[in-house]
Amino acid sequence: MKSIKEEIQTIKTLLKDSRTAKYHKRLQIVLFRLMGKSYKEIIELLDCNQTTIWRNVKNMRSSDSTLSFKKHVVVVTMHI
């Protein structure tokens, strides 16, 4: 299993890839939560509502790790 630092680096790499543009907000939410930011801080940074953040964090937690969430994003973008 990857460390938090490795997962953060993977998300940062995905954010630089234009094929993942559709998922940037989701990736940013996951990234900020991994970095320890609060819901309030994320709301202010991304100008989104708490439900959006909660839903994305829930989806991340329902998988075995954020890695599977990121794999899903990569798989989806590979088909574009």
The per-residue pLDDT for range 51-75, each reduced to its tens digit, is: 999 988 887 776 654 455 555 555 4
Confirm if 27 and 73 have CB atoms less than 8 A apart. Answer: yes
Domain definitions of the chain by residue range: 4-78
Q: What is the mean pLDDT of the chain?
A: 79
Distance CA 12, CA 38 (A): 19
The per-residue pLDDT for range 27-52, each reduced to its tens digit, is: 999 899 989 999 999 999 999 999 99
Structure tokens at 18: 């234009």
